[in-house]
Amino acid sequence: MDYLIYFDNSSTTKPCETAIKYINDSLNNFWGNPSSLHTLGMFSEEKINQARGCIAKSINALTEEIFFTGSGTEANNIAILGAANALKRRGNRIVTTAIEHPSVLNAIKNLEQNGFEVVYLKPDKYGVIDPQELTNAINKNTILVSIMLVNNELGSIEPITQAANAIKQANAPALLHTDAVQAFGKLPINVKTLGVDLLSASGHKIHGPKGIGFLYKSKKANILSPVFGGGQELGVRSGTQPTPAIMGLMGAVLELQNLNEHLNEINNLKQYCISKLQDFCSINSGPDSLPYILNVSVTGYKSETILHFLESKNIFVSSGSACAKGKKSHVLLSCGLNNKQIDSSIRISFSRFNTKKEIDALCNALQDACNTLRKAY
């Protein structure tokens, strides 16, 4: 394909050079089964533990608190189902939000169907949960609170530390889980400061490979994993560990040493993009949202039509979550946007490899799309 302009980084990212290098090195030299007792297996296990330590350091966790999974989705499922089943004798209430990723919402709906009481908190127009409503929802019967750190469609940053404080105030037995798939590698994360017991993340959102994620589980958190098998990852996620993917994840993490610098650069790009779009688009993302995500509505034009027009110019954006497959956004519905705004919404998601020149091309193409499509109608 000719040169393309990619602004769909919240769906997936292009693997970085270090990730590719580490993957290839592992495929060539560390291909033994990490569970084997011979030298080849021990080499692989040593590399996996090296990656575990690298990831733990990046979020201020202990090495033994990191468990590798096949995806962010799997990490979310293990955390939610595992926590609920471990604590079901101590309470029945689960608190979450109406704007979670489907891997969280569907897992919780399964628990709701099996008798758990679930509170779905509604956000404001920018996708932010009210800390007071969150506090009010947590009581002594609450066994799990699951709130995403960053929303994948709007970039809204949620009040996780307030949730941790509310659990303490209510003297609840609850474990606090956060889906950090859109936050890890973009925002500085300190699990001790956040106060979370469980945190999920994914490799392919940060220029690592697909098929790898991890679950942070604090030493004090006990869960009953729904995954059965040979007991790898201390029984949290059985199955032969994919050494090449794990090494690729470590390679991606190693390229994130200048996180705050990247964050400032991306924020400048986002503000520049907003300045060029605000005259003919409505901005759906809030002023305090994550710099990496910008949701706008090109009111009067269907998202799908806009997407295909941009694609014809080798410019790629999204109409929302890649997991939604064209369905109307439950996130934007929960925020109170009307159907016209939702049907014309697009998500522009940045990476550290994007440039102002690419934003100019995107904004000019969007303006061109409006002029062209208006004539067509």
Catalytic residue annotation: 323
CA distances from 213 to 68, 75, 78, 200, 224 (A): 6, 7, 12, 7, 19
Burial class from Cβ neighbours inside 10 Å (0-12, 13-18, 19+) for residue 121 reads buried
Contact 125, 282 (CB under 8 A): no
Which spans in the chain are helix H?
17-29, 39-58, 72-87, 102-113, 131-137, 160-169, 191-194, 243-254, 259-277, 303-311, 330-334, 339-343, 356-376
DSSP 123: B
Burial 40-68 (b: 16+ CB within 10 A, else e): eeebbbebbeebbbbbbebbebeeebbbb
Cα–Cα distance for residue pair 199/185, rounded to 1 Å: 13
Contact 213, 68 (CB under 8 A): yes
Q: Three-state SS for 3?
A: coil
DSSP string covering 301-328: S-HHHHHHHHHTTTEE-BSS-TTSTTPP
